[in-house]
Chains A and B, each alone.
Chain A
Amino acid sequence: MKKFTCNPNIIDEKLKIALSLRSLYADAGFSYYESSEFESYDFYREHQDFLVCGNIITFNDTNGALMSLRPDMTLCIINSPFLAHNKQNKVYYDGDIYRVSSFTGRYKCYRQLGVECFGDIKDKDVEGVFNLALASLSTLSNSFALAFSDTRLISKFISTLHLSKAEAANFIKMFQSKNKDGLVDMLKSKRINYNYIVAMRTLIDFPSGTLASCEKELLNICKTMGIEDEANCFKSLLGWIKKGPWAKNVQMDFSLIGDLNYYSGLYFNGFINTIGEAVLSGGQYDKLLEKMNKSGKAVGFGVNIDALGGAIC
Chain B
Amino acid sequence: MLSIALAKGRLGEKVYNMFKSAGFGIAEMEEGSRKLIFEDKKKKIRYFWVKPSDVAIYVERGAADIGVAGKDILLESQADVYELMDMKCGICRMSVAGKKGFVPKVDKTLKVATKFSNIASKFYASKYQDIEIIHLNGSIELAPLLGLSDVIVDIVESGNTLRENNLVELEVIHDISAKLIANKASYRFHLAEIVNVKSALEKQVGAGK
Interface residues of A (CB under 8 A from B): 102-103, 143, 145, 147, 177-182, 207, 251, 255, 271-273, 275-278
Of residues 45 through 102 on chain B, the ones whose CB sits less than 8 Å from some CB of chain A are: 60-63, 80-86
Q: In whole angstroms, how far apart are the Cα atoms of A272 and B182 in the complex?
A: 16
| Apart from A179-B83, A275-B185, A277-B62: 11 A-B pairs, beta carbons within 8 A | A103-B60, A145-B189, A180-B85, A271-B185, A271-B189, A276-B60, A276-B61, A276-B185, A276-B186, A277-B184, A278-B184
The answer to whether the Cβ of B34 comes within 8 Å of any Cβ in the partner chain is no
The answer to whether the Cβ of B105 comes within 8 Å of any Cβ in the partner chain is no
Among A103, A182, A251, the residue within 8 A (CB) of B188 is A251
User: Please, which residues of chain B bring their CB within 8 A of the CB of A143?
Assistant: 189
User: Which residue of chain B lies nearest to A102 when distances are taken between CB atoms in the complex?
Assistant: B80
Given A181-B86, A255-B82, A276-B61, A145:B188 Cβ within 8 A:
yes
User: Please, which residues of chain B bring their CB within 8 A of the CB of A272?
Assistant: 185
The answer to whether the Cβ of B37 comes within 8 Å of any Cβ in the partner chain is no
Task: Evaluate contact between B62 and A178: CB separation under 8 angstroms.
Answer: no
User: Which residue of chain B lies nearest to A251 when distances are taken between CB atoms in the complex?
Assistant: B188
User: Please, which residues of chain A bring their CB within 8 A of the CB of B182?
Assistant: 178
Q: In whole angstroms, how far apart are the Cα atoms of A272 and B185 in the complex?
A: 8
B interface, how many residues as a size bin? 10 to 19
Task: Evaluate contact between B63 and A178: CB separation under 8 angstroms.
Answer: no
Q: In whole angstroms, how far apart are the Cα atoms of A147 and B189 in the complex?
A: 11
Task: Evaluate contact between B62 and A182: CB separation under 8 angstroms.
Answer: no
Among A178, A273, A276, the residue within 8 A (CB) of B83 is A178
User: Please, which residues of chain A bring their CB within 8 A of the CB of B188?
Assistant: 145, 147, 251, 271, 273
Given A145-B189, A273-B189, A178:B82 Cβ within 8 A:
yes
- What's the minimum C-beta distance from B18 to chain A, rounded to whole angstroms? 17
User: Please, which residues of chain A bring their CB within 8 A of the CB of B83?
Assistant: 177-179, 182
- What's the minimum C-beta distance from B187 to chain A, rounded to whole angstroms? 8
Q: In whole angstroms, how far apart are the Cα atoms of A182 and B179 in the complex?
A: 11
Task: Evaluate contact between B63 and A276: CB separation under 8 angstroms.
Answer: yes
User: Please, which residues of chain B bring their CB within 8 A of the CB of A273?
Assistant: 188-189
Mind listing 24 A-B residue pairs with CB under 8 Å? A103-B60, A145-B188, A145-B189, A177-B81, A178-B82, A178-B84, A178-B182, A179-B83, A180-B84, A181-B85, A207-B191, A255-B82, A273-B188, A273-B189, A275-B62, A276-B60, A276-B63, A276-B183, A276-B185, A276-B186, A277-B61, A277-B185, A278-B184, A278-B185
User: Please, which residues of chain A bring their CB within 8 A of the CB of B60?
Assistant: 103, 276
Of residues 171 through 209 on chain B, the ones whose CB sits less than 8 Å from some CB of chain A are: 182-186, 188-189, 191
Task: Evaluate contact between A276 and B62: CB separation under 8 angstroms.
Answer: yes
User: Please, which residues of chain B bring their CB within 8 A of the CB of A177?
Assistant: 81-83
- What's the minimum C-beta distance from B72 to chain A, rounded to whole angstroms? 15
Q: Counting chain A CB atoms within 10 Å of each CB, which of B62, B85, B188 scores highest? A: B188
User: Please, which residues of chain B bring their CB within 8 A of the CB of A277?
Assistant: 61-62, 184-185
- What's the minimum C-beta distance from A313 to chain B, rounded to whole angstroms? 12
Q: Counting chain B CB atoms within 10 Å of each CB, which of A145, A177, A181 scores highest? A: A177
User: Which residue of chain A lies nearest to B58 when distances are taken between CB atoms in the complex?
Assistant: A276
Q: In whole angstroms, how far apart are the Cα atoms of A271 and B188 in the complex?
A: 8
Q: In whole angstroms, how far apart are the Cα atoms of A255 and B82 in the complex?
A: 9
Q: In whole angstroms, how far apart are the Cα atoms of A272 and B86 in the complex?
A: 28
User: Please, which residues of chain A bring their CB within 8 A of the CB of B191?
Assistant: 207
User: Which residue of chain B lies nearest to A178 when distances are taken between CB atoms in the complex?
Assistant: B82
